[in-house]
Amino acid sequence: MTAASDTSVSIQDLSLNFGAVTVLETLNLDVADGEFIVLLGPSGCGKSTLLNCIAGLLDVSEGRIFIKGKNVTWEEPKDRGIGMVFQSYALYPQMTVEKNLSFGLRVAGTPKEEIAKRIARAAEILQIEPLLQRKPAALSGGQRQRVAIGRALVRDVDVFLFDEPLSNLDAKLRAELRVEIKLLHRKLQNTMIYVTHDQIEAMTLADRIAVMKGGVIQQLDAPQTIYNRPINRFVAGFLGSPAMNFVDGRLEDADGGWRFAAEDIKIPLGTYDFAKPPAPGPVTFGIRPEHVSLNSGTGWPFSIAANVEVVEPMGSDTLVWLKLAQQNFSVRVTSERTPKNDEAVTLGFDPMRASLFDTATGTRI
Amino acid sequence: MSMADIIAQTSPAAGAGARQGITGPYGPKPRRMISRRNVFLYGTLFVMAVYYLLPLYVMIVTSLKGMPEIRLGNIFSPPLEITFEPWVKAWSTACTGLNCDGLSRGFWNSVRITVPSVLLSIAIASVNGYALANWRFKGADTFFIILIVGAFIPYQVMIYPIVIILREIGLYGSLSGLVIVHSIFGMPILTLLFRNYFASMPEELFRAARVDGAGFWGIFLRIMLPMSLPIFVVAIILQVTGIWNDFLFGVVYTRPDTYPMTVQLNNIVNSVQGVKEYNVNMAATILTGLVPLIVYFISGKLFVRGIAAGAVKG
């Protein structure tokens, strides 16, 4: 393997064990220069651990880490050219905002004029100039997180690492700062690696998302690809809110093509884009609630009828719950077309939008 | 029902007139000053206070009396003729064994023992605790367990070995020998104290400082220390009172001319020759106890302020 000099961050065969527990398993990840990568996964999947390894806060058990073409596996955090933003902000409580920003530079012995220049620039970018003389205790959550980002900014680093930076904020602030981080990335064009368990953050921010589970990257792709063509059932279920519908059934070889069957439901798959050559057997049929329509006529090559069980109005649209082959199934409809409880409806969808998974292994077919 | 109706119904205090129409319980429940609960509570507090303050009262009153008045035997009665003679004698002329220059010698000895012992033990223990909490070096847990076990070993077991060690390094009987002994014996409990305090600090703060490039001492001096005033105050109280009140180590590891105040007090009070000068004994005892007392009074305030300052979330 070559020393990946054309990438910003390159992780090669990285493993990490705590005693007998394997947290990361021979993990490989190449991040292009200026790319925004989001590590997404449930808690305990190793995403924060991976970030701490990149930052140099944890020693790795196996493998190498390159940043800007330099092997930094044994380097101290400060020598890696990284800046890190933490979930709890981690501002030094006894220092003013200005001292917080300049701490790293003062430790490194940067000249005073240079420090002042860099703080002025960071404060302008993040619009925290009026706060410079305040202590962290006198700041709101959003302001604190901005200062935390500024602390990484002043150090003029190549790579920004974000460890769930918005998780401590309320929903409204989170949405605001999300946009600001995206703007910041457009302005700075730095490489950013961002850890989150929030799929909305991942979808909105990332150039590419790495969905992680059990210390392994399940899928690394552009957000739309991950959303539309999840590589396995875990990825399919983790992304999307409300979650994708799954119906267990069988793949059958009918005359003139493949079809999915569960009890009395038969769905000809027609144009479905198989990921590998299909074979008859148990499969899980998945489709997102927004890709299903209610009472949309008889143009579909199948007919599925069901009764509405529960209706969940969510403002902009409504989630309709029903039972399909005795399994829960949700449909997202616009608020104007909401059916009533117990109403009989017919379902329609394009099989091309569906995902088929091997029931036993969970991989995409 | 309109919105206005609902508001009118749910807030009867909206108008002063609304209150007149209300019967039954309204507002805070009335409490009687002299209830069974209050009598019991304050009665117990009063009895406990008297129980603890009475000896102090007797000591002060006795120390201000002359010997003839004490011989009358009314230990609770206030002095008829206030005299500070016993205090002066206790401080500067009372005889302890060979010397007759009072407690003043012991006082200065105790100062010269306590100040360096407190500074040294806290300086070392705080770094110990910081290293154990934040820099989890290999064998840190084992080291910590050994240290804690040290806190449970009875002093008596170690007295004689330490005598030999001090003799071999030529410090037996000197003040610096006693300072070393006090510093070592303060180590387990102080390290535990500091380790737990530093462990309770957010770990991300420590990580942020590492990313910012601060090293072992940089993080300790510039990040951790400014945040740990409360625990330092606690440690100082613990050590000052503990070392000042120490008798055992003082009597074992020093010579008569380097005896700490507590040992001298014992020698004054327990001297067998001549008449028992109760007034001088009382004055000497109060003088010896004064330092821990002052520490409690001063640092108590500081302590609360320190806790309050430390509680501000960053």
Between A299-303, A344-348, B134-138, B256-260, the lowest mean confidence (pLDDT) is in A299-303
Does residue B9 fall inside a structural domain? no
Residue B289 lies in a domain: no
Sorting pLDDT into bands at 50, 70 and 90, what band is A326? confident
Q: What phi and psi, each to the nearest 5 degrees, are found at residue B296?
A: -65, -45
The better pLDDT of the pair A57, B3 is held by: A57
Q: Please indicate if any CB of chain A lies within 8 Å of the CB of B78.
A: no
SS3 A180: helix
Two tokens, residue A292: 């299903």
Contact yes or no for A43/A197 (Cβ under 8 A) = yes
Per-residue pLDDT of chain B (314 residues; tens, 9 = 90+): 444 444 444 444 444 445 677 788 888 888 777 888 889 999 999 999 999 999 999 999 999 988 888 888 888 888 888 888 889 988 888 877 677 788 888 899 999 999 999 999 999 999 999 999 998 888 888 988 888 888 888 888 889 999 999 999 998 888 999 999 999 999 998 998 898 889 888 899 999 999 999 999 999 999 999 988 888 888 888 899 999 999 999 999 988 888 999 998 998 888 767 778 888 899 999 999 998 888 888 877 776 665 554 443 33
Is there a contact between A94 and B226 if contact means CB atoms under 8 Å apart?
yes
Distance, CA of B291 to CA of B112 (rounded, Å): 13
A245-358 has CATH 2.40.50.140 classification: yes
Beta bridge partners of residue A286, listed in sequence order: A246, A355
Contact of B54 with B273, CB cutoff 8 Å: no
CB contact under 8 A, B211 and A83: yes
- Letter for the amino acid at A85? V
Q: Say whether both B65 and B158 belong to one domain.
A: no
Q: Please give, rounded to a whole number of angstroms, the shortest distance from the CA of A97 to a CA of chain B.
A: 11
Q: Are B292 and B240 in contact (CB under 8 A)?
A: yes
* pLDDT at res. B16: 47
CA dihedral sign, ordered B247, B250, B251, B256: negative
Give the gap in angstroms from C-alpha A105 to the nearest C-alpha of chain B.
8
**Window from A59-68, A197-206, B9-18 with minimum mean pLDDT:** B9-18
Cα A207 from Cα A225, distance rounded (Å): 11
Running DSSP on this structure, what letter comes out for residue A363? B
pLDDT for B1 equals 44
Closest residue, chain A, to B313 (C-alpha): A137
Q: How confident is the model at residue B81, as a pLDDT?
A: 85
A107 contacts B210? CB cut-off 8 A: no
Q: How far apart are the first and last CA of chain B?
A: 49
First-to-last C-alpha distance (Å) of chain A: 31
- Does residue B21 sit at the A interface (CB-CB below 8 Å)? no
Contact status, residue B279 vs residue B65, Cβ threshold 8 Å: yes
A103: chain B residues, CB-CB within 8 Å: 209, 212, 214, 222
Same domain? For B157 and B298 the reply is yes
CA distance A18 to B148: 26
Q: Based on the fold, state whether residues B58 and B129 are members of the same structural domain.
A: no
At A215 the three-state DSSP class reads coil
**Hey, are the CB atoms on A104 and B211 less than 8 Å from each other?**
yes
Chain B hits for A137, CB-CB cut-off 8 Å, are 312-314
**Domain chopping of chain A, boundaries:** 7-232, 245-358
Across the A:B interface, residue pairs with CB atoms under 8 Å apart total 65
Q: Which of B122, B258, B264, B232 is nearest to B182 (CA)?
A: B122
- For chain A, the C-alpha Rg in angstroms (whole number) is 25
Q: Is there a single domain that holds both residue B194 and residue B250? A: yes
- Which one of B205, B210, B314 has the shortest CB-CB distance to A77? B210
Residue contact B204–A86, C-beta within 8 A: yes
**Is B313 an 8 Å CB contact of chain A?**
yes
Measure A195 CA to nearest chain B CA, in Å.
15
Cα diameter, chain A: 79
Q: Which residue of A has its CA nearest to B135?
A: A57
Is the pLDDT at A256 greater than 80? The verdict is: no
Cβ of A78 and B312 within 8 Å?
A: no
pLDDT at residue B155, rounded to an integer: 83
With residue A26 as reference, give the H or E element that holds it.
Answer: strand A21-32
Q: Is a pLDDT exceeding 50 seen at residue A283? A: yes
**Residue in chain B nearest A101 by alpha carbon:** B212
CA–CA distance, A299 with A297 (Å, rounded to integer): 6
Domain containing residue B69: 36-83
Give the DSSP letter of residue A321: E
Rg of chain B's alpha carbons, rounded to an integer? 29
CA-based nearest residue to A225, from A208, A250, A237: A208
Segment A127-140 shows an average pLDDT of 92
Using CA atoms, how far residue A222 sits from A28, A41, A208, B119, in Å, is 17, 15, 4, 60
Residue B219 lies in a domain: yes
Mutation for testing the B interface, residue in A51, A75, A91, A103 having most B CBs under 10 Å: A103
Number of folded domains in chain B? 2
Whether residues B118 and B77 share a domain: the answer is: no
CATH topology of domain A7-232: Rossmann fold (3.40.50)
Residue B245 and residue B122 share a domain: yes
- Residue B243 within any structural domain of the chain: yes
Return the pLDDT at B308.
54
Q: Say what the pLDDT of residue B11 is.
A: 46
Q: Does residue B249 sit in the same domain as residue B304?
A: yes
Mean pLDDT of chain A, nearest integer: 90
Q: How far is CA A258 from CA A244, A250, A267, A278, A300, in A?
A: 22, 10, 9, 8, 16
3-state SS record for chain B: CCHHHHHHHHCHHHCHHHHHCCCCCCCCCCCCCCCHHHHHHHHHHHHHHHHHHHHHHHHHHHHCCCHHHHHCCCCCCCCCCCCCHHHHHHHHCCCECCECCCCHHHHHHHHHHHHHHHHHHHHHHHHHHHHHHHCCCCCHHHHHHHHHHHHHCCHHHHHHHHHHHHHHCCCCECHHHHHHHHHHHHHHHHHHHHHHHHHCCCHHHHHHHHHCCCCHHHHHHHHHHHHCHHHHHHHHHHHHHHHHHCCHHHHHHECHHHCCHHHHHHHHHCCCCCCCCHHHHHHHHHHHHHHHHHHHHHHHHHHHHHHHHHCCCC
One fold for A7-232 and A245-358: no
The number of C-alpha atoms within 13 Å of B275 and in the hemisphere containing its C-beta is: 8
In angstroms, the CA B151 to CA B193 distance is 12
Specify the DSSP class assigned to residue A163. E
Let me know whether B79 and B132 are in one domain. Answer: no
Residue of B210, B227, B314 lying closest to A57 (CB–CB) = B210
Could you tell me if A8 and A70 are in contact, meaning their C-beta atoms sit under 8 angstroms apart? no
Tell me, what's the pLDDT at B30? 81
- Look at residue B47 and tell me if it is in a domain: yes
Whether B200 and B257 share a structural domain: yes
Reduced to 3 states (helix: H, G, I; strand: E, B; else coil), residue A112 is helix
Question: pTM score, two decimals?
Answer: 0.80
Secondary structure of A259-313 as H, E, C letters: EEEECCEEEECCCCCCCCCCCCEEEEEEECHHHEEECCCCCCCCCEEEEEEEEEE
- Contact criterion met (CB < 8 Å) for B211 and A137: no
Which among B208, B214, B314 has the least Cβ separation from residue A84? B208
Task: Assess B95–A contact: CB distance below 8 Å, yes or no.
Answer: no
Weakest-pLDDT range from A201-205, A270-274, B46-50: A270-274
The pLDDT value recorded for residue A105 is 93
* Same domain as B216, residue B166: yes
| Nearest neighbour of A93 by CB, restricted to B207, B209, B312 | B312
Whether chain A has a CB inside 8 Å of the CB on B205: the answer is: yes
Q: Is B311 part of the contact surface with chain A (CB cutoff 8 Å)?
A: no
Please give the pLDDT value at position B314.
33
